[in-house]
Amino acid sequence: MIHAGVDVKRIGIVGGTGYTGVELLRMLAQHPEADVVCLTSRSEDGSAVKELYPWLDHYSSLAFEAPNLERLAACDLVLYATPNKIAMTEAGDLLAADTKVIDLAADFRFKDQALWEQTYGGPHAAPHLLAEAVYGLPEVHRAAISQARLVGNPGCYPTASTLAVLPLVEAGALDLNTLILDGKSGASGAGRSARTDLIVAEASDNFHAYAANGHRHGPEIAHQLTQISGASATVTFVPHLLPMIRGIEITAYASTSLSLAEARSLYEARFADEPLVSVIPAGAHPETRWVRASNRCMIGLYQQRPGQLIISSVIDNLVKGAAGQAIQNMNLMLGLPEMMGIPAHPVSP
């Protein structure tokens, strides 16, 4: 884990016991210029990484330790793989110590404090940092991320959704108030939780919607579309639970005057230089296994009636939807090549 080079970056991870944390560990194990030097968990203080994750014996000596700001402040960058409302209490101190911060939870995804407080409940602990924090979607905010000290890593559904409609929004070709997003996620999106409704006997060979009256990722998507377009956006968003491990698919129903051919040209031009976003050939449909365990996003375009474009967008919720995007942001923030250590080759079958 300790590289010979002088420039290896020192990385801290707070809360490495969930799926986002273990994905960060998997990716950093193969990152040539970043080492995990501090890994904290209140519940697993003292446990070796390879005890919890026998398959990560790359980390032969790394162990979880109790949260300790001083140890974290000695890192170049700290990744928060914690529940909401943790990073916002500590980010200020780390920034003051010249340590950069990426929060994989929702604390720094909104510019609008009131909207955040309404969506997540209770006061924000660091409202003064909201203006500075950058939304970590490199395809939109790459330059700002490169300069950022503090990044709010996007949610999984918002990543797939925003990329699905980004060219339309930037081109002013999307009706910002009738967008419908029908989302589906693999069960890893619910986290490593001992919940009866997630066990194989209940959740495999099964499918259902959830939070159909409103899910927190709805406001996040609308807020981001507002940021990008400069005009107020709203969305209807319904998530569903898939009987599988990894993968998100968003089917977007977008009001636009563009024809299918015009939309295709627009999308292909917009993503031509994006290394991780592909517009697939006409008539094909992107499959979640085509991005499995990779940082990719694949997008297909369809039309059934004039005035409406249908977009299908797939990502791996744990990678481009979480840990992979965080490493991409980390690379940008630390001046490393953006794709360094990023899993680019999906595992399929």
Residues 132-191 that bind a second copy (CB under 8 A): 180, 182, 184, 186-188, 190
Euclidean distance between CA atoms 270 and 165, whole angstroms: 11
HSE-up of residue 202 (Cα within 13 Å, Cβ side): 9
Distance of alpha carbon 315 from the chain centroid? 10
Closer by beta carbon to a second copy, 19 or else 157:
19
CB of 89 to a second copy, least distance (A): 27
CB of 147 to a second copy, least distance (A): 30
Instruction: Calculate ∠ Cα 178-179-185, nearest 5°.
Output: 150
193 binds a second copy (CB under 8 A): yes
Which residue in the set 26, 223, 270, 320 belongs to the binding site for a second copy (CB under 8 A)? 26
Closer by beta carbon to a second copy, 29 or else 125:
29
Q: Give the residue carrying structure tokens 């990779």.
A: 294
344 binds a second copy (CB under 8 A): yes
Q: In a 3-state reduction of DSSP, which class is residue 10?
A: strand
Distance of alpha carbon 150 from the chain centroid? 15
Closer by beta carbon to a second copy, 98 or else 205:
205
259 binds a second copy (CB under 8 A): no
Closer by beta carbon to a second copy, 230 or else 283:
283
Report 287-326 residues binding a second copy (CB under 8 A).
287-294, 296, 298, 300, 302-305, 308, 310, 312, 314, 318
Per-position DSSP letters for 56-90, written without gaps between them: -TT-SS-B-B---HHHHHTSSEEEE-S-TTSHHHH
Closer by beta carbon to a second copy, 144 or else 238:
238
Which residue in the set 76, 90, 103, 249 belongs to the binding site for a second copy (CB under 8 A)? 249
Euclidean distance between CA atoms 340 and 243, whole angstroms: 32
Q: Give the residue carrying structure tokens 């680019």.
A: 344
Report 196-225 residues binding a second copy (CB under 8 A).
196, 198-210, 212-214, 218
Whether 38 is a known active-site residue: answer no
Report 50-69 residues binding a second copy (CB under 8 A).
53-58
Euclidean distance between CA atoms 229 and 245, whole angstroms: 34
* Contact (CB, 8 A) for 330 and 79: yes
Cβ neighbors of 93 (< 8 A, separation 6 or more) are 69, 73
Residue among 38, 75, 156, 297 flagged as catalytic: 156
Which tokens hold the place of 288? 């979640």
Q: In a 3-state reduction of DSSP, which class is residue 177?
A: coil
Closer by beta carbon to a second copy, 12 or else 218:
218
Euclidean distance between CA atoms 295 and 333, whole angstroms: 18
CB of 69 to a second copy, least distance (A): 29
CB of 258 to a second copy, least distance (A): 15
CB of 161 to a second copy, least distance (A): 14
Question: What residues are labeled active site?
Answer: 156
